[in-house]
Amino acid sequence: MRIVSISDADDPRLAPYVSIRERDLTGRSDGRFIVEGKVTLATLLERSLFEIESIFIGQSRLEPLSDILALLPQDVPVYVAPQNVMDEVAGFPIHRGVLACARKGEPLALDALLEAETLLVLNGISNHDNVGAAFRNAAAFGAGGVLLDEQSCDPLYRKSIRVSAGAALWLPFVRDGQGKDHIGRLQNAGFDVWAMTPRATAAELHQLKPSAKTAILLGSEGPGLEDALIDRCRPVRIAMASGFDSINVATAGAIALAHCHTCSVTGSA
């Protein structure tokens, strides 16, 4: 293992870890992303498609993490520093004492998702918690991938990864282009696209049997999907109590995905 002791917060090798929160907000243009915490690091090493550039851990974490760090390629540096140096670099207290920097690499092409039986499709989801939760739900119910339009936020944002329980690190995704183009591509590839909407005229989820290939399309909280998008798809609604038809967008996705998963397992709707 390539352990590198660091004592100076200004060490240039730690540049990717400087002021993490500020750079979360402004976005990174260097093709890198940061993960934090032991469980997420394990997922990054065991299941992800991403190339790890370095690890940055607190001195006291070296021993407890030895099992996980043994999975690292030999040439990846493990920067080790006292906790106060780590906090100074990151700009806030890194309680878990575990950070890693990885490269996003070449984005997948949309074609890579089209073999899936079930896809989750996100349109204009600009809240990182919702994107992370959507990935967690997609993974839990066996979706083959997630397709996001370019207005949706980055699943490899630190908080999205955490909320996704690491699913954003291994579930294939594409984030590019516009919802209306996605719908056409999906339909051409044989997908029945279910646009989730509270429209009264929409089909009720529990009465639908998923096709061999089903895509669940979710719009942003608040405005929801545009009519122009819904009209190109099969509008589907989740039956709710009258007077309070409001659930979180990721939760709506979970209910639709759970229905598809159950139907695929039992062979019935």
Amino acid type, 85: V
Of 82-90, 153-161, 177-185, 248-256, the window that binds a copy of itself (rule: CB under 8 A) is 248-256
Helices assigned H by DSSP within 141-248? 158-163, 179-188, 227-230
Number of shown-chain residues binding a copy of itself (CB under 8 A): 28
Q: Which of 38, 104, 199, 261 binds a copy of itself (CB under 8 A)?
A: 261
What is the token pair recorded at 111? 């074609």
Q: Does 206 bind a copy of itself (CB under 8 A)?
A: yes
Helices assigned H by DSSP within the chain? 20-26, 38-46, 66-69, 83-90, 128-140, 158-163, 179-188, 227-230, 249-266
Amino acid type, 259: H
Of 25-33, 89-97, 140-148, 226-234, the window that binds a copy of itself (rule: CB under 8 A) is 140-148
Q: Does 254 bind a copy of itself (CB under 8 A)?
A: yes
Q: Does 25 bind a copy of itself (CB under 8 A)?
A: no
Q: Which of 6, 52, 122, 165 binds a copy of itself (CB under 8 A)?
A: 165
Nearest-5° Cα angle at 87, 82 to 88: 100
Please tell me the distance from the alpha carbon of residue 110 to that of residue 69, in angstroms, as a whole number: 33
- Positions in the binding site for a copy of itself (CB under 8 A): 133, 136-137, 139-142, 165, 167, 206, 238-241, 244-248, 250-251, 254-255, 258, 261-262, 265-266
